[in-house]
Each structure stands twice: as structure tokens, then as C-alpha cells.
Amino acid sequence: MSALVSEVSEVLVGLGERSYKIYLGAGLFNSESMFKTCVNSQYICLISSEAVSQLYLEQFLKNLEKFNLNKNLKIIKIILPNGESAKTWDSLNLIFTELLKFSMPRKTLILALGGGVIGDIAGLAASLYQRGVPYIQIPTTLLAQVDSSVGGKTAINHPLGKNMIGAFYQPRAVLIELDFLRTLPDREYFAGLAEVIKYGLIFDGEFFNFLEKNKNKILNKDPEILLKIIKKSCEIKSHIVSLDERESGLRAILNFGHTYGHAIETLTNYQTFLHGEAVSIGMVLALKKSMEIFNLELGLEPDLLNRVLDLLKFLNLPTDIPQNLNQTLSSENMLSAMARDKKNSGETRRLTLILLKKLGQAEICDIQI
């Protein structure tokens, strides 16, 4: 982690009494004030993954004990396997077993130190343990920093569908440590950029233009540009979540490309693509469907598809279903998996898809299949 603490940026997620702040900066975990503001509790359950714990757990625990105000600090740590394979009932039950084995009380603070998988399952555990305990998201991947750590969606997977068992449960805070990105594998970094690009497509065309203009700096992980795109992504998501916390309307546009993407992940048993990679392919499929559904005169620029393809490819993201998966991801199999998506209305022979009417404007559509 950085030896120096940079200036901390803040984004507010405005949800009344459930409001909380997102803190962004480099060297946050060398900041005594940050620990005392957010992570100050006598009882702490730290949940992480094998990969992240090897890199950051020891130093984080040292700082936790150093900066904590409670002399009788009680910490338990739970390390889960890497990847989507950890988002299961068995992993969730393991968390509960450890919490109960060590008699952790209702005022226990759960810390989710990891990527989106850890954030999702730790948040769900927090929502259920003793009918709800506080938790803090500490995302270590770009995708988790710009998307899954913000907004209170928590879940585990089911063999028949991704994130089908979960709850809306907001964290106490989100701490985005930019230094984590220094050790993030390139493939994980690029996968996270798919969600960043999504925000420009669905909500802010000028942000998409900014990403295009700065694609070389983004490719090379320029720290100044990274802070800008992460903060902007958090601001867009926070704004949408504050208007529609439980996805009864507007928030659904955040799922642009995800209905296709989740089907791709499910059909490949979460083994072939990272989430952002599946979403990248899903956004291309959704954009093609948008051009099919909406007349171009409604404002969807004819060259937008090429612009999106060029940006995704430049940032090392997939845009097509690989030839060797054409049978697994056939139209019939994709439609079957998409029909089970939790965002659907439940009507037979219809899908709920997020499509673009123009750059920066998404629309929720019920499509006949």
C-alpha cells in the first residue's frame, strides 16, 4: 500500500437514514482518521478471498489493531476461495458458522475485503446474521469499485442463474483504495472497464466521449484518469440508486448488457469469462438489439456500434461469442437462460431488456421472443 495518503474524495449515496459515503483515495489504510471514522468497532469479522488475503490481509490487520479505539478488539477472519465458485450456500453457511462459533454479537462489523464476489456474499451474510449487522465494502478490483460495492445489492448464485438469491442491504460505507489496482491482474482491470463504459452508454454520453478521448491513458492506468473515471462511475451509480434503491424502475438501466452477460456466465458455469467480459459481449448484443428495435431516426447514431466495438477492443475486452462456444451459447440456450433472469416480468415469451435509444439514454423494454 502507498506510504502516503492522498487527498480523499467523497461521494454521497443519498438514501435518507440509510445514506452513506464512498471514500476514494490512495493510501486510505494508512489513514488513522479513516479507520476511526469508518472501521471503529470492538467486534469485527473480516471476509476476504485467498488471493487478496495473501497480498493485503497482514498489513490491514496490523493497521486495524493500531488505529482501533477499542482495547478489547475481537477480530475473526474468514478466507473464501477465489472467483464465482465462492458465491454458494456452502460459503454463506461457513460465514454463519464462524460468526456463531466465536459468539459474535449483533454489533459485529463485517468488512468485505475483496472483489465483487466477496462484497456480494459478505453483504448478504451481513443482511441475514442476527437479522442484520453493519458492514463496509472495501473493494479491491476495478469492477467492484465502480459497480458492485455501491448500491446495496447482495447475493449468491444458483446453478440455474446468477445472483438469484439475495437482498438489498446498504453498507455503512465504501472505502475505495486506489493502490489496490497496482496489483490487480490486467485481465481483471480490463474487465472492470466494461462497467465504466456502460455508464457512459446508458446515462452520460459526454462521459463516453471522455473515455474515447483518454483511452490511451486508461489503457496505461494513468492515476489521475483512473481517479476521475472511478469517481464519475460512482457518482452516476449513486445518483441512480438514490432515485430507485430497489430497482422498481430507473435502476434497472444499470443492467444494460447484463441479461445477456448473466446468461453467458450461467451457460459456461462461471468458468470461461470474468463478469466484465461477459457484460462486454452482452452490451454489444444489447446494442445490436437496440438498432433492430429502434429506428435510427430516433437518435441512435449509425456509427455508435462501431465506436463501442473499437473502444472495447482497444481495452482488450471481448465483443463476440467465441466460435468454440457457439453451440453452448446458441440462440436457443441463451434465450432459455435469459428467460430465467430475475429482471423479467414473469410473462411467458417476453424478455425485459435494457436497450439504448441514443448515446446516454437507456430504456427498459419488454421484448417478444
| Residues involved in catalysis | 131, 153, 195, 237, 247, 251, 255, 258, 262, 275
Q: Which three cell numbers stand for residue 206?
A: 459526454
Q: What angle do CA 248, 250, 321 make, to 5 degrees?
A: 100
Q: Which three cell numbers stand for residue 116?
A: 465483487
**Distance between CA atoms of 175 and 144, rounded to whole angstroms?**
11
Q: What are the distances in angstroms from CA 16 to CA 12, 231, 249, 331?
A: 11, 21, 19, 44
C-alpha dihedral, 173 to 85 to 257 to 174, nearest 10°: 10
The length of the chain is 369
Q: Which of 111, 126, 133, 105 is nearest to 53 (CA)?
A: 111
**Distance between CA atoms of 50 and 48, rounded to whole angstroms?**
7
Sign of CA dihedral 165, 195, 201, 207: positive
Assign 3-state DSSP to the chain and report helix, strand, coil percentages, each to 5.
50, 20, 30
